[in-house]
A and B are shown apart, each in its own frame.
Chain A
Amino acid sequence: MLRHRRIYVLPTRRGLALIATIAIMLVASMNYALALGFALTFLIAGLVAAALLHTYRNLNGLAVSPLGAGEAFAGTELVFTLSLGNASSARQGIIVATGSERSVSVDLAAGTTQIVQLVADAPYRGRQLLGRVTLWTDFPMGLWRGWAYVHFPLSGIVYPAPEAPAPPLPPGRDGSDARKSAHAAEAELAGLRDYQRGDPLNRIAWKAVARGAGWYSKQFEGAGGRGALQLEWADMPPGLDTEARLSRLTAWVLATEREARAFALRVPGVELPMGHGAAHRRAALTALALYRAG
């Protein structure tokens, strides 16, 4: 949890224009000795000053905390999740932005907490840091812009982009791949689970969607050993460079999931034993995401 005391406030362009107008009105009031001109000018100045306080208050005491980071394939988008907690009265028009162009605008009622999802471009594989988050606001009058920076050690995993179209899976270790893979499509449906961002389209339980029951993904239980695969860095065609190899392996890992087959993965530095299931697949993808040559 973080309470930021370092809030900066500067006038916006409109605020500067208004301040300049106030200055001109002041000079006119001085020259013509207009007491009510002074009164009007200073009332507006008081309004501008009060707006500054309100802009500051809109950010002051806001509790920002990291909740988690998602996972993504390179070239898609990575989602970071933060929570904004507001213990005092309502706040409006708080904009949460990362380095990218995309930002989220949040209104917080008094005493509430809101979950904010920040979407960031994920161009490269590897561990992607959230980086500096800017919270800013020009509430209530757009005359002042208050902002504060927060840093969280929050990072998401970006997997290599799967090669598309990818060559078919390499033959299985026991050489009986063709026969078994024919059965793979008929792998038994083990059940449904909640749809998660990133689940492949062909795994979505469309019947359930059509019924209006919600979004679910089909879970297949691949029988261990049936059509088990050994995915080897070293088996790649020698002409491929590192990233292309990682892309192909990623595509293959995803293909094993589609076809419900167990696999083992060996890349330089990482060796995953034969296994299947979501955790295994994630471990494999993570290993590919974090692969470092040499």
Chain B
Amino acid sequence: MIFAAAPVTPLTRIQLAWLGALVLLAQLTVASHVLPWVAAAGAALVLIRFVLAPDRLPSPRLRRLLLPLLAAAVAVAIRIKFGYLLGRDPCVAFLYVLVGIKYLETRNARDGGLLICLALFLLLTQFFYAQTIAAALLMLPALLVLGGALAALREAPADSEWKAPLVMTARMIAQGIPIAALLFIFFPRLAGPLWGMPTDAGARTGLSERMQPGTIGSLSLSDEVAFRVDFESAPPPPSLRYWRGPVLARFDGEAWTPFALLRRGQLARPAARTIDYTVTLEPHGQRWLFALEHPASMPSRTALDPAQSGGTDLAFLTFDQQLLAKAPITQAVRYAQRSSLDESFPAIDNVERRENLQLPLDRNPRTSEFARELRASVDSDRAFIAAILSKFRNEAYVYTLTPSPLGEEPVDGFLFDTKRGFCEHYASAFVVLLRAAGIPARVVTGYQGGEINPDGEYLIVRQSDAHAWAEVLLDGAWQRFDPTAAVAPSRIEHGIGAALPLTEPVPYLARLDMTWLKNLRLHWDAINYQWQRGVVGFNIDRQRNLLRDLGLGNARPWQIVALAAGVIVVWGAIVLGLARRRALRADPAAALWSLACRRLAHAGLRRSPEEGPLAYAQRAARRWPQWGALFARIGESYALLRYGPDSAQRGELIASLRASVASLPAARRLRTSS
């Protein structure tokens, strides 16, 4: 009987309104991440159901038939649009519409329960796209309405009162926060995914393995944060802030790509100037970990340990001094790092020399010709390099985000015709010139510069700081040269905002004007950084560190579970105790009276349910005559409070009742004296 199924009754309009509000709020959180027509269709399905009168909708039976067809049609449309179905975006889009379809056909409380589960999962999917503070705030309204919808499903509300359920839910969520916090801190995290990520989950902005004219320029249009850095000591000057990323050594005449074969390398021998810092890298879906040139330690999730040189659990070092993570960076990662601020590091062997002379024979003939002639006219490699840099500096070369279109041979076109380019044009042309002259060289991409946030004293490196420079093998060592510095020295010192005129489409956080707005954004970024470090970046490493800081570093799992169980018991007792105290506040007279009754019942004199306060007080007075006056006072005050007229003396009466109840003898004393 107890577990009998509830009778199946159609949902009332108010119940439907609660469910509709929940679904719409859940859809709202992902609406900006799905295709516009998907967003519109999913929400429209909900609105149709709620706005149209029930008799204008197709009959429930027809809906049961039609809606699976509709769902299938949507699946097909999404499949056609994306070209695949089992990825993040198509799945979220399908779920988004499915929730609307389910709402359209929801008939009874059981459908409603299923709908709630679907809506909650949809609410989760927004975090596939963004884990910002805004996203966190956006989930709260839906959570509040969740409680109202559940309560409405339990018992159809008689009126459209909506505040009380929301207040109740808010109170219950607040009561549940200790449990949520406990789980958030102690629930074991995984080091990697349980199963493979959908391929599109890693598609994010950032540097790529391929550099061709325009690649870095388009990246520079983004204000997005690439990583943030906390320095242990004073940060190095901007001209030394070269964050090494992909090293590109293969050239096909237009695009630069890395060598397929990645041999392991050795850390640079630490020079006099080393610097320690911690990088918080935003997920970019690739494997590079960025470090200042040149890394003098392996990146470490915990404290810095320069003794490790071959590789850690996080990454390994390649022969060309790239730090490569063992897996694509799909979640924010924080690592300690040491760098040696040298402009060069020793090369390994002659293989490198051969590899970095490669050029496609039949491409960019004017460039090759020019390089050979120029090399013949100077007496050393260094003089040759100086000549090229002074060519960039003295001729009419322009540093710009909007270069002119280049012809069939992009390096030729840039060097001799347009003379307008962004850093990748200069780096590429520079390396091609050197290789044509027989000097081993390669392109290095990464980030250069960054902005110190005075609010929190950390460095922000954005996508707009993306940069490409060159590395030349001279005298057995790889030496850094930055041709962009020749044409636009302020790019290196002050970022692209300083190096480009205001008419260029520089992202506004990289500009030098609009300072108050920038200050606001810097404060906001400081908050976001804390958020990123404390909440979003709370992963297995930080969990381990926190446990260690709490003195639980060596605790066994069962000990932590036992501790958590103890905390939960205490929590339950506190929440129940709070409810009692609230009752005391809500109706102090009843609470005091019940306290007195409990005391007397404990002493052996139970009040029978039909017995009034006066009669009970008399009975108590007969049993314990020595306290008769006290019992009479309690009974009379309570009777007056409960059944008497509402008078101005209510407060005094309550105070007197409280005093009387407080002076009641203990139950044990009562028992022994009767």
Contact = CB atoms under 8 A, between A and B. Distances in A.
A54 B169 CA distance: 11
B593 A53 contact: no
A65 B606 CA distance: 12
B87 interface: no
Nearest to A25: B124
A141 interface: yes
Contacts of A32: 127-128, 193, 197, 201, 330-331
A176 interface: no
A1 B610 CA distance: 11
A14 B154 CA distance: 10
B151 A39 contact: no
A40 B183 CA distance: 11
A44 interface: yes
A21 B120 contact: yes
Contacts of A17: 113-114, 117
B155 interface: yes
A89 B2 contact: no
- A24, A31, A97, A136 pick with most chain B CB within 10 angstroms: A31
Nearest to A65: B609
A4 to B, nearest CB: 15
Interface string A35-68: 1111111111111111101101100100101010
Interface stretch (A142-150, A223-231, A241-249, A269-277): A142-150
- A20, A36, A48 pick with most chain B CB within 10 angstroms: A36
B173 interface: yes
Contacts of B136: 36, 39
B267 to A, nearest CB: 29
A93 B2 contact: no
Interface residues of B, number: 79
B498 interface: no
A194 to B, nearest CB: 18
B175 A50 contact: yes
Interface in B135-160: 135-136, 139, 143, 146-147, 150-151, 153-155
Contacts of B590: 87, 110-111
Contacts of B538: 35
Contact of A140 (B109, B128, B151, B190): B151
Given A42-B184, A45-B180, A53 B586 contact: no
A134 interface: yes
A3 to B, nearest CB: 9
Interface string B521-565: 000000000000001111100000000000000000000000000
B194 A51 contact: no
Contacts of A30: 189-190, 194
A32 B127 CA distance: 9
Given A42-B183, A85-B609, A110-B586, A57 B147 contact: no
A45 B564 CA distance: 15
A290 interface: no
Given A33-B539, A36-B127, A49-B179, A67 B610 contact: yes
A32 B193 CA distance: 6
A21 B117 contact: yes
23 contacts: A1-B601, A30-B189, A31-B197, A32-B331, A33-B539, A35-B538, A40-B127, A43-B177, A45-B179, A46-B176, A47-B143, A47-B146, A47-B173, A47-B176, A83-B610, A88-B583, A89-B587, A99-B1, A111-B589, A111-B590, A138-B154, A140-B168, A145-B2
Given A17-B113, A46-B183, A110-B586, 6 more contacts: A1-B607, A21-B120, A35-B538, A46-B179, A48-B176, A51-B172
